[in-house]
Amino acid sequence: MDDYYKILGVSRDASDDDIKKAFRKLAHQHHPDKKGGDEKKFKEINEAYQVLSHKEKRAQYDRFGKNFSQQGQGFGGQGFGGFEGFDFSQFTGGQGFGGFEGMEDILGSFFGGGGSTRNRKKRKGGDIGTHITISLAEAFQGITKDISFRTWVSCRPCEGKGYDIKEGVDTCKTCKGTGSITEQRNSFLGPVAFSRECSTCHGVGNIPKKPCTHCKGTGRVEETKKVSIEIPAGIQNGNTLKMTGEGEAGERGVPQGDLLIRISVTYPHGVTVEGEHIIIKKDVSFSDILRRKPIEWHHVSGKKVTIEIPNNFILGEAIIIPGEGMPRMKTGTFGGRKYGDLIVQIEVKTPKRMSSHAKELAEELAKELEKD
């Protein structure tokens, strides 16, 4: 047998991660169940990996060569069948075996198998994404929007089943009504039996006596779908709403996918929103500041808000009006609707030019204010 390092195509100082990556690539390429696979080559790859992925075995191999098992160290009677060094989490999202319902699913994930009938129940039609733009006033009040789009919808004549309901169905002879086919394959675990979806009945377990002529047996047709979307008060720019079951219809009774709606909110000039707080900028003359003239603003709700300039107001600071911001999408502690704040940023405008009389008055005002 060739050098284990050459079999995996790695150098003798390759890291554990390099060895694992090389094994994964070659195992997928040469597995006998794959098109163009090579069973002999796959066994060599697996044998090489079982040695080089194990710290102690690799050390003995580097010292004594491929006959190191005769030196009394070997595999401890385990042969080449162990999987101490193999990390299955790379195929299970880091969840180990807990992410699978059976050994057939483990092999199905690794070798591209069809899975069992249980997996068909988990499948659904495709999700659909769309985009809606609304005004800040609409976001404040909440609004219903109607949209339409082309997609697959459940066939009405056959109720999405794909066959004439009156005629009924016959039990699938291929899978005998189970919806799955059990097969035995050779793997690095040895001979293992696992299930795949029956290709004759598509995992349903029965065959229609008369396919639906409207959808040609698929259980769905392409149409323009209309949906009313309830956009809640307080929605924020960039939020995504999910409408379960309003996406693409699946074939032959498989549940529909979901509709995902991304919301864009347009703001009036000089207005921004941060969380549930509305932030506005108001240009105010210096004389209005001195006279503490109230500032009026037409709120996005439609009402008029009067903003009082407080005593000892420091230019550059914001004026905060509690409860005049956006509605929070979640209710408060006592079940009442809660709102954010209105934050007013004052920008003082000085006069472009002053008459001599205005300058005299300004001097008098400055002297008067200095007395305080």
β-pair type (342-349, 318-321) = antiparallel
Task: Kindly state the tokens that stand for 31.
Answer: 């597995």
What domains does the chain contain, in order, with CATH numbers?
Answer: 4-86 (1.10.287.110), 123-166+216-266 (2.60.260.20), 271-371 (2.60.260.20)
- Note the pLDDT of residue 1: 47
- Note the pLDDT of residue 98: 37
In degrees, to the nearest 5, what angle opens at C-alpha 114 toward C-alphas 102 and 207? 110
Low-confidence ranges of the chain (pLDDT < 50): 1, 69-119, 121, 331-335
β-pair type (277-285, 342-349) = parallel
At residue 206, what are phi and psi to the nearest 5 degrees? -145, 165
61 vs 1: CA distance, rounded Å: 13
- Note the pLDDT of residue 367: 74
- Note the pLDDT of residue 24: 85
* Residue of 180, 183, 200 lying closest to 192 (CA atoms): 183
309 vs 284: CA distance, rounded Å: 11
Distances (CA, A) of 147 to 230, 231, 261, 361: 11, 12, 10, 62
**Counting Cβ atoms within 10 Å, is residue 235 exposed (0-12), middle (13-18) or buried (19+)?**
buried
User: What are the pLDDT digits (tens) for 45-60?
Assistant: 888 888 898 888 888 8
Name beta bridge partners: 153: 221
Cβ 202 vs Cβ 252: under 8 Å:
yes
371 vs 145: CA distance, rounded Å: 61
- Note the pLDDT of residue 43: 85
Name beta bridge partners: 266: 135
CA 364 to chain centroid, in Å, comes to: 66
- Note the pLDDT of residue 189: 56
β-pair type (190-197, 143-154) = unpaired
38 vs 346: CA distance, rounded Å: 76
pTM of the model: 0.56
Provide the 10 A C-beta neighbour count for residue 47: 18
- Note the pLDDT of residue 187: 63
β-pair type (143-154, 220-231) = antiparallel
In degrees, to the nearest 5, what angle opens at C-alpha 276 toward C-alphas 273 and 280? 35
265 vs 273: CA distance, rounded Å: 10
Provide the 10 A C-beta neighbour count for residue 227: 17
At residue 362, what are phi and psi to the nearest 5 degrees? -65, -40
